[in-house]
């Protein structure tokens, strides 16, 4: 019995390590997934090695900005993808791939029924914009999904524009008093992300939760124009 339990533990740890490595690649290889494809080249394939163990991956979100890049990379590795959205946003990049993506429709505020009773190897939470959303989805999925990856932000630290931030840097968990409206909005976003991270970890545990804290992400599908403004402005001179 001990040998059997030990084998199960080793297999579980192996699968978790494999899943974690695979899920992290679209983030740590961002130069591949976000910067090598112009918006007009929507069918261009992202080079990726086939995964030794194909996974069933659920993406909460998946059609707006980051999601299509993740879908393309994951499918390029041979993984099966399901996305959960409100069904209101059409992908602007990698459009042709979505005919092979299972698409579930609902609302993270009050309708997660499409997720109930389903099983996946991992979930990527791109659309967690309220701590409640993350809590509800994580609690619903924790018995049927091995790993939960939450896409957070460096906004969990404040001020977040610096060179001395470490993973152990204290997170901002409340908006301080005596600040202006613009600062309050920035704080509020970071507080939301920090509390959402905590909800994911509370539901899945430390060993089954991955938190990614990217800074600004730019590339095809970015509707903010926060990056392209600068080269355009510099080209005008003056």
pLDDT tens for each residue of 25-70: 555 444 333 333 333 444 445 567 899 999 999 999 999 889 999 9
pTM of the model: 0.78
CATH number at residue 90: 3.40.50.720
Angle, nearest 10°, between helix axes 131-141 and 181-204?
A: 10
Res. 107: pLDDT tops 90: yes
| Sequence-ordered alpha helix ranges (H) in the chain | 2-28, 30-33, 66-76, 131-141, 181-204, 229-236
**Residue % of the chain over a pLDDT of 90:** 55
Q: Please check whether residue 59 is in contact with residue 126, taking contact to mean a CB–CB distance below 8 angstroms.
A: yes
Task: Please state, rounded to an integer, the average pLDDT across all residues of the chain.
Answer: 83
- Mean pLDDT of the 174-185 span: 88
Domain that holds residue 55: 2-236
pLDDT tens for each residue of 129-145: 999 999 999 999 999 99
Domains held by the chain: number: 1
Least confident of 72-76, 109-113, 135-139, 226-230: 226-230
What is the longest distance spanned by two Cα atoms in the chain? Answer: 76
Q: What is the dihedral of CA 146, 47, 83, 188, to 10 degrees?
A: 80
Q: Length of the chain in residues, anyone?
A: 238
Least confident of 47-61, 172-186, 202-216, 219-233: 219-233
Say what the pLDDT of residue 40 is.
41
Instruction: Grade residue 7 by pLDDT with cuts at 50, 70 and 90.
Output: very low
Res. 182: pLDDT tops 90: no
Place of tokens 């005919």: 99
């Amino acid at each position: 019995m001990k040998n059997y339990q030990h084998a199960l533990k080793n297999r579980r740890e192996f699968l978790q390590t494999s899943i974690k490595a695979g899920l992290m690649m679209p983030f740590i290889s961002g130069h591949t997934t976000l910067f090598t494809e112009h918006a007009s080249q929507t069918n261009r394939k992202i080079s990726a090695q086939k995964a030794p163990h194909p996974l069933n991956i659920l993406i909460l979100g998946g059609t707006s900005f980051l999601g299509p890049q993740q879908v393309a990379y994951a499918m390029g590795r041979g993984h099966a993808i399901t996305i959960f959205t409100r069904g209101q946003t059409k992908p602007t990049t990698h459009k042709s791939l979505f005919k092979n993506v299972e698409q579930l429709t609902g609302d993270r505020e009050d309708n997660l029924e499409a997720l109930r009773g389903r099983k996946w190897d991992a979930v990527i939470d791109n659309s967690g914009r309220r701590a409640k959303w993350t809590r509800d989805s994580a609690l619903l999925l924790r018995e049927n999904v091995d790993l939960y990856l939450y896409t957070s932000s460096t906004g969990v630290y404040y001020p977040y524009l610096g060179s001395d931030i470490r993973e152990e840097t204290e997170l901002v968990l409340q908006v301080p008093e005596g600040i202006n409206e613009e600062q309050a909005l920035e704080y509020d976003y970071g507080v939301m992300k920090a509390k959402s991270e905590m909800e994911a970890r509370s539901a899945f545990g430390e060993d089954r939760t991955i938190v990614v804290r990217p800074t600004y992400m730019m590339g095809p599908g970015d509707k903010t124009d926060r990056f392209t403004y600068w080269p355009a402005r510099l080209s005008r001179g003056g």
